[in-house]
Amino acid sequence: MTIYEGKAGIAALRAKIKRQEETLVREIARGLVENLVENGQDYIGDTTYAGIEFPDNDPGRFVNSWYTGDDVPSLGFSRSGDRSGIDSISQAQFLDVDLGKTISVVNSTPEAIFIESLGWKVEDLPLRGIVGWKDKPAKHPVADVAKNLDSIITDAIEEARKAK
C-alpha cells in the first residue's frame, strides 16, 4: 500500500488520479473504436457498400474512418481504406485527453448512414433488381457496439487501475 503524506503526498496522489482518469478516458475510446472497427469488418468488401453506391470507395474506408477527438466532432474522412482499421485504432489509443472535454467518435463517410441505419433497398434503385441485386439491410454496427459498453468500460477501469 502506498502512503501519501503532507503536501507532496497530496500532489502525488492528485497526479496519480489524473493519470488514472486520463487512462480511463483513453481506454474507453480505444475499446469503443476497436469494437466499431471489428464489428465493421464483417461487411467490408460487400459490393453493396463499397463498390456500387460509392464506386470510388476503397474497401475498408468505413472501418478506417473512425475519428476520435475532443469537443468538436471531426467531419473529415481523408484516410485511405484499410480493412484492419489501424488508423482509427491508433488515433483513439493515443488520444491526448483533456479532462473536462467531451470525447467524440465520428464516422463521416457517406456510406456510414447506410450501413448503420438505412441499408439499401432494391425499390430505391430498380435497375439493381434486374441484374439480381438484392436488398441489403442496415447492419447497425454502432447500435451493436453500444450493447457492449458495459464490458468496454469494465475493461477500461481495469487498465486505469494499473496507471501509476
Partner 1 sequence: MSQLNIRKAFEKKMIAFSPAISLSFENVSFTPASNVPYAALTLSPADVRNPTLGDNYHREVGLFQVLLCFPIGQGTNAVATKAEEIKLYFKRGTTLTESDTVVIVDKTPSIGRAYVENNRLCIPVRVSYFTNEF
Residues that bind partner 1 (CB under 8 A): 34, 38, 41-42, 44-45, 82-84, 86-87, 89-91, 93-94, 96
User: Which among 115, 103, 114 has a CA at the least distance from the CA of 67?
Assistant: 103
23 or 128: CB nearest partner 1: 23
The enclosing H or E element of 67 equals strand 66-70
**Residue type at 9 in one-letter notation:** G
Q: Please, are residues 64 and 87 in contact by the beta-carbon 8 Å criterion?
A: yes
- The distance of closest approach from Cβ of residue 2 to partner 1 in the complex, given in angstroms and rounded to an integer, is 22
- The distance of closest approach from Cβ of residue 41 to partner 1 in the complex, given in angstroms and rounded to an integer, is 4
**Residue type at 24 in one-letter notation:** L
83 or 118: CB nearest partner 1: 83
34 or 111: CB nearest partner 1: 34
- The distance of closest approach from Cβ of residue 93 to partner 1 in the complex, given in angstroms and rounded to an integer, is 7
All three cell numbers of 61 = 474506408
Query: In a 3-state reduction of DSSP, which class is residue 154?
Result: helix
- The distance of closest approach from Cβ of residue 148 to partner 1 in the complex, given in angstroms and rounded to an integer, is 13
